[in-house]
Structure 1
């Protein structure tokens, strides 16, 4: 039986060297190299969506893969695809790195410059381990080897554009359709989900930050189960504790939630920190909420460009949601899409925010009337994003508010060319 090997190497010269050497291994079936961490995880998720048998037996991770550091990438692959044997390629053969790689979930380590005998030995060992795991799990079994739940991040172009309201109602819509849903407040210094949902709970994201291995029991202790059925993981009550949540801990937390929930909605707020950046990078869908005014749209463009510069998310991989939309405003959704260079949600949320006043003041956002046009739009948005099961979603959102296309590109606010 051939051993399928997927190399993850960023440098073209190193990729050619690795691929050439892999091709000389007996019974090896090398795949084309992936060049960054996001591409590797996306490739494995796509293969796993078919079946466990579609995954490669061995993944080779080069030490200079990016943008996620190699050890963090190995940890994520090991958590999400436990039937894949990961081997680290590195120039550091120290016992410290070996121990760190094993702790992250690697099945072996190969030192640079690559040698045939060492590579063949490590690949064979990792492949045998992978085969044994798959035999134990059983073909077609319900295993955690797939991509896990859907992760959606919700970020704001600036403060006050409706990020938290959007995140909460996407989660509520998914839960109402029968999904298991986690709602995470990753606005670490100013998160308000607890206030919006009338929750008092002392545990938070910060309590998981120092945990190396987040077991189901540890996760359960940190999560608050709301009366709506949502599993809430809240921001720390003391804003300064937000610094404890690093990009590494954020990745572990998101991976743990994804493994136990069908939908994970993360409110990242408007301030980008390391934890939020990690969540946005890992997300299946990254939403950016803006309002149709010059200040907010300019802010949205800055955010999109920053995500691109930091290699967090490419513009075409992000989706803008226009909130407080009115057909009479000069800036229409299609113009926002043109300015930001992102995808555009088909649903625009209408400017009927007075409907929210009573439930927000009462801390009962989940009690928003079903006749509310804002709620109908947000729940329809959840359906557009695939967060609502089809059977439950039928008949919802009769008053869909769609982003108009006709003439939108022709409406140009004075000075818009200088965005």
Structure 2
């Protein structure tokens, strides 16, 4: 049986030399190279969605792949596609890099310039390992096969537009439909999910920030299981501790959650930081909540443009949700769509705070009356997004990309120092 090998190489000259050598290996079947981290993860996700058997046995990652650094990319592939063996190709063959590569999930390190014998030996060993893993894949508890769960981020055009309520109700709707759901508070300084659901907690997202390998047991210890069945990963009680969560840590946390839950809903708040940017960039669907007033719509437009400038997400890959909508307001969803250049959710959330006030004040938004217009609209939005079974004819918002673009820290995006 031939060994399928997928090269991930950004450098044109390196692509040529690596693919030439791979074609010379016995029983090797190199596939079309990918040129960056985004294309690699998207390609693997697409293949995994068809079948684990469609995945290549071996992925060869060049040290200069981007925009995500090679070791972080390897960790992502190892977490999401455990049946794929990854080989790092690097000019640095030091014991330190070898150890770091193994810690990230690589199955081997081959030094540059490439040696036929070394590459052949390593590819053969990794391919055998991959075949063995596939024989037993699916027997591990609580790990989703293939591309993993669906990640939906909910961000606000500004504070107070209803971001947290939207995130909570989307998670509750998905949970009620029988799916395994995690709700994450990535609004690290001012997150209110715990208050909205009236929970007391000891652990938070910060407890996972310093862990390089988030095992299922470690993740289970960090989440809070709510009475509704939703798994909560909450913002820290001390807002200043949010600085401990880096964009890299956020990426690892989201990947770990994606591998264990069918739906992951992330409240990113209204302030953009590295962790929130990483989450938005990785999301299958990114929602931006606004209200139909001039200040909020301007904020939505500003956010969309900033995401585009920082290469976090393109406008057409973002879905705006209009909250507190009334038919009489001058600013209607089609106008907001033209102003922001985004997709617009077909479901607008009506303005009716009176039906929410008691539940919000009591911290029990999970007990909203099923007959309430706001809850009905939010659960209809969940169906539109594909988080629950959608009625026939309902279009889906957002863009399910099957993989993430790979976040880069805001500082690197702006060209600053590390």
Q: Which residue of 1 aligns with 2:409?
A: none
CA contact (8 A) 1:38 1:281 kept: no
1:317 aligns with 2:317: yes
CA distance in 2, matches of 1:51, 1:98: 31
1:247-298 C-alpha deviation (Å, 9 max, x unpaired): 2221222222222211111101111222112212221111111122222222
SS at match of 1:260: coil
Distance in 2 of aligned mates of 1:31 and 1:79? 22
Query: Counterpart in 1 of 2:206?
Result: 206
Task: Indicate the SS of the match to 1:387.
Answer: coil
1:43 maps to: 43
CA distance in 1, matches of 2:9, 2:341: 29
> What is the distance in 2 between the residues matched to 1:326 and 1:258?
36
Q: Is the Cα–Cα contact under 8 Å of residues 57 and 130 in structure 1 kept in the other structure?
A: yes
Question: Which residue number in structure 1 is paired with residue 16 of structure 2?
Answer: 16
> What stretches of structure 2 of length at least 5 have no aligned partner?
398-418
Superposed counterparts of 1:1-400, under 5 Å:
1-137=1-137, 144-388=144-388, 390=389
Flag the structure with more relative contact order, 1 or 2, with Cα contacts below 8 A and sequence separation at least 6. Answer: 2
Measured after TM superposition, the shift of residue 11 of structure 1 is 3.1
What is the alpha-carbon distance in structure 2 between the residues aligned to residue 145 and residue 228 of structure 1?
25
Q: TM-score, normalised by structure 1?
A: 0.88
1:394/1:333 CA distance change after superposition, 3 Å: closer
Distance 2:65 2:346 in 1: 36
In the alignment, the residues of structure 2 paired with residue 142 and residue 204 of structure 1 have an alpha-carbon distance, to the nearest angstrom, of: 21
Conservation of the 8 A alpha-carbon contact between 1:81 and 1:144: no
SS of corresponding position for 2:321: strand
CA contact (8 A) 1:323 1:348 kept: yes
The superposition leaves residues 170-208 of structure 1 with CA deviations (integer Å, 9 ceiling, x where unpaired) of 001001111111111110000000000011111111111
CA-CA distance at 1:394 after TM superposition: 6.2
What SS does the aligned partner of 2:184 have? strand
Task: Give 1:143 shift.
Answer: 6.5
The answer on whether the counterparts of 1:58 and 1:127 sit within 8 Å (CA) in structure 2 is: yes
Q: Is contact 1:4–1:58 with CA below 8 Å preserved after alignment?
A: yes
User: Which runs of no fewer than 5 residues in structure 1 stay unpaired?
Assistant: 403-419
RMSD: 2.3
Q: Distance in 1 between matches of 2:175 and 2:154?
A: 17
